[in-house]
């Protein structure tokens, strides 16, 4: 995957909500799913989000968070936060991080760790990020409220029409003892980071019949040389994404399948 060259990539920019009608200005977490195809046809799929760490430590806790936030019991979230104090840091991020004006200004993070094996057979546990190549502009809260429901989508369509948009792919190496199994714990900022490539978006295609619609951005689809680590999230995500993929592609009225679709 890291041999010098140009490799095709397709991806989907998203808002972290199950509500397809949600306003762009109302969803705190933004993400990208990406599939890179290497020279030998192997695929590297990744789904990344813009917070610098995940709200909870384990897949079970994430399940409990979703259950609590969907609950009608006004005490449910308080009880959850009491049992999972690690969520406080995420709350702070959500309150203080800027709402940027463009997907192109977002840093998207794998948060989960993976293991890279180099040509000599040495293993390194890593996390990766897509780092924007342009500065972020923050939208003030009163301005945000006035933005069009799909302002992010409209912005990226216009931006890519005017010229390619790119992010640097940066791989951060864990030091021995770093928390590799817990995405709610960021690694210290002095860890070695290598820029390994550039993702360039040259075309934006509407999702309805676009090439990403029938891709499941399962984070366990990895090329030779990259494997899952002791982080339990990717396996849990793989199981959940498969169920979700089956449900959404079965919505044949609003979301027709393309011929020859594969998972
Ligand atoms: C146990 C934890 C998690 C669960 C149960 C979960 C569940 C899901 C589900 C059901 C989908 C929809 C998949 C589809 O319909 O194709 C999804 C999409 C997504 N998830 Fe997660 N997720 C988890 C953790 C994470 C983490 C840690 C990240 C990023 C660091 C992440 C990033 C994303 C992104 C970017 C998408 C959109 C991908 C696309 O456009 O297809 N998720 N997640």
Q: Whose CA is nearest to atom 22 of ligand 1?
A: 237
Ligand 1 pocket residue status of 99, Cβ below 6 Å: no
Which pLDDT band holds residue 213 (cuts at 50, 70, 90)? confident
Greatest C-alpha distance within the chain? 55
Which residues are bridge partners to 179 per DSSP?
A: none
Predicted TM-score of the model (pTM): 0.95
9-51+97-254 homologous superfamily? Catalase core domain (2.40.180.10)
41-90, pLDDT tens digit by residue? 999 999 999 999 999 999 999 999 999 999 999 999 999 999 999 999 99
Closest CA to 130 of 101, 157, 107: 107
- What backbone phi and psi angles, to 5 degrees, belong to 219? -70, 0
Q: Whose CA is nearest to atom 19 of ligand 1?
A: 47
Would the pLDDT of 263 be above 50? no
Would the pLDDT of 257 be above 70? no
* Residue 248, SS3 per DSSP: helix
Chain-centre distance for alpha carbon 13:
9
Ligand 1 pocket residue status of 51, Cβ below 6 Å: no
Q: Structural domain boundaries of the chain?
A: 9-51+97-254
């Amino acid at each position: 995957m890291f041999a010098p060259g140009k490799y095709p990539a397709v991806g989907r920019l998203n808002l972290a909500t199950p509500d397809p009608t949600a306003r762009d200005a109302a969803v705190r977490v933004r993400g990208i799913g990406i599939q890179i195809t290497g020279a030998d046809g192997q695929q590297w799929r990744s789904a990344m989000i813009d917070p610098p760490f995940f709200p909870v430590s384990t897949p079970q806790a994430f399940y409990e968070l979703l259950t609590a936030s969907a609950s009608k019991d006004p005490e449910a979230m308080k009880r959850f936060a009491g049992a999972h104090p690690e969520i406080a840091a995420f709350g702070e991020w959500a309150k203080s991080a800027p709402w940027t004006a463009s997907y192109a200004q977002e840093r998207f993070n794998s948060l989960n760790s993976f293991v890279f094996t180099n040509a000599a057979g040495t293993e390194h546990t890593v996390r990766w990020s897509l780092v924007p190549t342009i500065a972020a502009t923050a939208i003030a809260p009163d301005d945000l409220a006035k933005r069009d429901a799909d302002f992010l989508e409209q912005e990226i369509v216009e931006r890519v029409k005017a010229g390619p948009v790119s992010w640097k792919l940066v791989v951060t190496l864990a030091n021995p003892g770093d928390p590799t199994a817990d995405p709610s714990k960021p690694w210290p900022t002095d860890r070695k980071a290598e820029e390994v490539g550039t993702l360039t978006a040259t075309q934006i295609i509407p999702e309805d019949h676009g090439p990403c619609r029938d891709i499941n951005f399962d984070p366990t689809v990895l090329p030779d040389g990259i494997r899952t680590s002791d982080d339990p999230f990717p396996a849990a995500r793989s199981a959940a994404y498969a169920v979700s993929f089956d449900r959404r592609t079965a919505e044949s009225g609003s979301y027709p399948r393309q011929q020859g679709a594969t998972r």
